[in-house]
Structure 1
């Protein structure tokens, strides 16, 4: 932070191009707002009952307020600034990490392009869940944007954000996220990119590459809520298959696809499972991979190299593991590449490449 944004982008591009190859057919870096871009807030609740802090914890595990953080997009920033009063009105006791007392651990908020929001209360135990449920009218009055309100139970004293159990309090259990002309249904424990503006550009570029290839079938591994697959459907692809380890994400993708494909002959299939185990004897026309920072790994890279399709689209948030995976995929070459600045003011990056089989 403090470095001029144009200089940040040039430096990031130099880093990723230096690792993958400056001679590649790079497009101009895709950028968006340098502040006010985050569509989600993950707030640690500190302080005390009646005087909560929402933000992070300091070195002594005490709350530091970040409700006026400049990274939140405008609608989200407005919601976040109303939350301390809401926590007070709900009479919730913040969780005290050193003392291991209290109930409310985190508040997780996601904001949609249409101004709606998902609000999740992360509690230590079920004891306060009834209190929140009984005061849903207070939440609605304070946050009329809230389409989805839920309680997540995280009983363990560990540095983890949320637990496996979710209790949805509203009639809606998914937040519609309109990205380009696709509406993604985001459920409570589904992953979505932090920066909607750059996510839209990323999916649009992937669609353009897909339309150029015109694959009949697209296999989207690590598909999340289906962003890449659903942008391909009807744009070259008549069938998409998505694979993701999160059941909530697959339910989101299935719901979105059913709405998108209604009244068409397009086909879609979604599977909960390990992406590394899914390549079978039936090879699709295009494989999309969007793995976590660790990359796709040696096993999947080898399978793609041995039996993969004509093209692979690889979206990566870690150029080092992307380069490692590319080394294991010697039968492919990069034919298009781009940097997408998903995380301004940081050294993090998103890189997407289109690979073509050479042999």
Structure 2
């Protein structure tokens, strides 16, 4: 993949750009195998590869420049905006939408937030594309001051960008190195983006986490569902369930499935998707995954975990090690913490593993592992 931004030294986010893609995947597989170690019972399945470009379904663009000539991309060392609206790892739908959004910002007179002086209103624009081509567009503002201007511009924006079915304003008043704030102001009637993922359609709300590579996410859900069906548990938990992707794909007649997620908004998305799919014996709870496990009266037959980069932590891995859970499916975006967690659970042996390249051109990788209790 060729990138004019990298060639010009404008952006260096894609650290593997220039390395042939097959070599990228081989290196990621090698690193995961090395971290998990040689284990006679462990079988590695062929890696799931991605398109080299146009794969990223979410763009997090910092807004710079001026209200008349905004930039969408990153900030340089001096806090000035660097435009990356033609970024090649974003989906074609997002790349086509960004110039339209930039024109909309200019028409509305939304003043970009200037980091050095801490003045201005519009901080970021977040755009997510569904596999259907529909878009969620979120304007991250410092205050409500320019909400009126954004509302007045909304009709014209949607005329030029009819795919934008969900549009919101997110409020981030603090001067912090974060992408979004806690308050979301819906500007359209629709507030969820439908994400078809093969067997199940997921619902994505503005502040809910979703994998950034839709085709590879679909393969991940299918792989986990296959392993779960082979294990045939009567009960299963999906911890750190997000919008319920694993839980919904693992649901089956006669199988009790419980998803647990700290984000109440993500839980509402999961419940909505379960209702739409007519799934029975599936429930979703808002709360801390570790606390839920420690307080449970009994353990399920199988647990799926999909933690953040830090891993599942000492308390949950100790609980899993001592529990009667027969199988664990561990999906990880950080193979180093995965290896550390597995080393602390020697009774749960990895028997299958698979690398899924969610993030071409970068060092990041997703690896999913099926664990089986020894004895």
- Coarse TM-score class (shorter-chain normalised): over 0.9
Q: Deviations over 1:157-185 (max 9, x none)?
A: 11111110001111111000011121100
Following TM superposition, by how much is the alpha carbon of 1:237 offset from its aligned partner in structure 2, in angstroms?
6.3
Tell me the secondary structure at the aligned position of residue 45 of structure 2.
Answer: coil
Mapped contact 2:312–2:341 kept (Cα < 8 A): yes
Q: TM-score, normalised to structure 2's length?
A: 0.93
Question: Of residues 265, 276, 280 in structure 2, which corresponds to 1:248?
Answer: 265
Instruction: Answer yes or no: is 1:217 the counterpart of 2:231.
Output: no
Q: Deviations over 1:258-310 (max 9, x none)?
A: 11125xxx211111111111112321121000000000011100000101410
| More deviation, 193-202/14-23 | 14-23
Following TM superposition, by how much is the alpha carbon of 1:134 offset from its aligned partner in structure 2, in angstroms?
2.7
Tell me the secondary structure at the aligned position of residue 120 of structure 1.
Answer: strand
Tell me the secondary structure at the aligned position of residue 267 of structure 2.
Answer: helix
Question: Of residues 62, 74, 78 in structure 2, which corresponds to 1:56?
Answer: 74
Q: In structure 2, how many angstroms separate the alpha carbons of the residues matched to 1:32 and 1:237?
A: 35
> Which residues of structure 1 form unaligned runs of 5+?
none
Mapped contact 2:100–2:157 kept (Cα < 8 A): no
Q: 1:21 to 1:237 in 2, by over 3 A?
A: farther
Tell me the secondary structure at the aligned position of residue 29 of structure 2.
Answer: helix
Tell me the secondary structure at the aligned position of residue 256 of structure 1.
Answer: helix
* Residue-pair matches, total: 355
Mapped contact 1:215–1:237 kept (Cα < 8 A): no
Partner in structure 1 of residue 297 of structure 2: 281
Partner in structure 1 of residue 12 of structure 2: none
Q: TM-score, normalised to structure 1's length?
A: 0.97
Q: 1:53 to 1:332 in 2, by over 3 A?
A: same
Tell me the secondary structure at the aligned position of residue 193 of structure 2.
Answer: strand
Instruction: Answer yes or no: is 1:114 the counterpart of 2:132.
Output: yes
Partner in structure 2 of residue 191 of structure 1: 209
Question: Of residues 153, 159, 162 in structure 2, which corresponds to 1:135?
Answer: 153
Correspondence 1:191-340 to 2 at 5 A: 191-234=209-252, 238-261=255-278, 266-279=280-293, 280-340=296-356
Q: Deviations over 1:307-339 (max 9, x none)?
A: 141000000011111111111111110111000
Q: 1:237 to 1:70 in 2, by over 3 A?
A: farther
> Which residues of structure 2 form unaligned runs of 5+?
1-16
Tell me the secondary structure at the aligned position of residue 145 of structure 2.
Answer: helix
Question: Of residues 89, 92, 100 in structure 2, which corresponds to 1:71?
Answer: 89
Q: 1:186 to 1:225 in 2, by over 3 A?
A: same
